[in-house]
Amino acid sequence: MADVQYFAVATTADIEPGEVFIADVEGVQMAVCNVDGDFYAIRDACTHDGASFDQTDLEGPEIFCPRHGAVFDVTSGAVLGAPANAPVDTFPVRVTGNTIEVGIQQ
């Protein structure tokens, strides 16, 4: 099984509950999400047509694509609303002190 390497992306103070923070992690664009104090990361590319999630906020664990309105659950990547029909990639997140770190398989 591949090792997961973690990279610091932000501090907990940088991302308020309900906010989405876009980060480049080793060349992978990610949307790091604060869901009521818990952090999750998804690939910053809607599976419908590749839009970024940079111009959107969260409603609980739900993220809305700003381009055509697809809805995903950021905790699992699952599609909750059309027009997307494939889940979005998720990445492991851990908080060390006040630093948010996202994991990538090496």
Residues lying near ligand FES in the complex (CB under 6 A):
46, 48-49, 51, 65, 67-70, 83-84
Using the minimum distance from each CB to ligand FES, give the nearer residue, 32 or 65. 65
Instruction: Find out whether 18 and 56 touch, Cβ atoms under 8 Å.
Output: no
Min dist. Cβ of residue 81 to ligand FES (A)? 9
Give which of 20, 56, 14 is closest to 40, Cα–Cα: 20
Using the minimum distance from each CB to ligand FES, give the nearer residue, 16 or 49. 49
Min dist. Cβ of residue 42 to ligand FES (A)? 12
- Beta-bridged to residue 31, according to DSSP, are 22, 42
